[in-house]
Amino acid sequence: MSGSERQPPAGQVQLDSRPIFPTTDGNENIMEVDALSISRQSRDLEEKYKMDHQRRGVALIFNHEHFYWQLRLPDRRGTEADRRNLNRTLTDLGFEVRVYDDLKAKDVQKTIDEASKEDHSNADCFVCVFLSHGEDDHIYAYDDKIKIQTMTDMFRGDKCQSLVGKPKIFIIQACRGDQHDDAVIAHDATDSSESPDNWTEVDAATVYTLPAGADFIMCYSVAQGYYSHRCIVNGSWYIQDLCETLRDHGSSGEFTELLTVVNRKVSYRTVGRCKDINAIGKKQIPSFASMLTKKLYFHPKSKQII
C-alpha cells in the first residue's frame, strides 16, 4: 500500500458498505450492512418444504390391540379410538390412509417394504404410525417385536429415492420406560385437566430415541424412560391431543410448532382412575426428534379444475 493512501484510524472498522454513525468520543463508527447476507438469513428462516405435489402422500397406520399369548402383553383397550381418530384426521389433511390391524411382524415388514418401493414422486411426504407396546428400540407387532430403525432405514435416500428431500414422519404411540412422571405444580400454571371419567392404562415397556436421517421426524407419545397413558374409552392422551391440534391448526400451523402445542396439552393431563394405584396423579410429556431441514406445513391443496 502506498504512503499516500489513507489508513483507517485506530479502533475504526472499515468495511465495504460504509454508513457513518456519530459516537460519543468523536470518532467515526463505520458499520457494514451486508444486504445479501441478511436476505439469505431471512430466506433460511422462511424456507419451507415443497408441498404442492399432486398428492399429499401415503399414511400407514399399524394398530395393535391384541398380541400372541406367549408375549404376555396386555390388550391395548382404547386403541380403536386412536385408530379412528388418526384415520379421520390424516384423511382430512389429504393423506391416502391405509390402516392395518394386529399384523404379524413379517406382514408389518412386508407392508413397509412395499410402501418404500412405491413411486412417491408426485407426493409431498410420507407418514407411518405405530400404535402398540414397545421395548428398547423395538415396537411390537402381533407375534414379535420389530426394530424401529430397520423400518426407518427403508425410507433413506439410497432405498427410496422418490422421497429424497421430502418429510418422512414417524409417529409412535408406545410406552418408553418403567417410570411414572410425577406431578409438579408450576407457579405460572394456568390450566389443569384430568382424564375423562374412564379408566387409564399404560403401554408396556420402553422405546429409545433413534436417529433416522435428514428429513425424518420421530414423534413419540412420551419422553424416554416413562409410561405412556391410554384411556380405555377415548384412546391415548397423545393421539387425542395430536389429532385435536391437527384438526384445529393442521392446515395453517407449522408442524413442529404444533407438536410443541401437543406437548403442552398432554402435560396438563393427570391420571385419574387406574388399576395401577401408583399411576394415579401421574403425568406424561411427549417428545419429538426432528431431523427436518425446512419448515413443514400442510396447507390445503388447491382444487384442480377439470
Catalytic site residue from 133, 138, 180, 229: 133
Asked if 120 is an active-site residue, the reply is no
Instruction: List Cβ<8 Å contacts ≥24 apart for 109-112.
Output: 109/146, 109/150, 109/151, 111/60, 111/62, 112/60, 112/151, 112/154
Asked if 53 is an active-site residue, the reply is no
Q: Are 227 and 270 in contact (CB under 8 A)?
A: no
Q: Strand pairing partners for 97?
A: 59
Q: Are 204 and 156 in contact (CB under 8 A)?
A: no
Q: Are 236 and 79 in contact (CB under 8 A)?
A: yes
CA-nearest of 101, 51, 59 to 255 is 51
And the C-alpha cell for 210?
A: 433413534
CA-nearest of 45, 238, 246, 52 to 130 is 238
Q: How far lies 162's CA from each of 54, 92, 116, 129, 157, in Å? A: 14, 24, 9, 20, 8
- Burial class, 290, CB count within 10 angstroms (exposed 0-12 / middle 13-18 / buried 19+): middle
Catalytic site residue from 125, 128, 175, 219: 175
| Residue 30 parent element (H or E) | strand 28-30
CA-nearest of 43, 105, 103, 49 to 217 is 49
CA-atom Rg of the chain in angstroms:
25
Q: Which residues are catalytic?
A: 133, 175
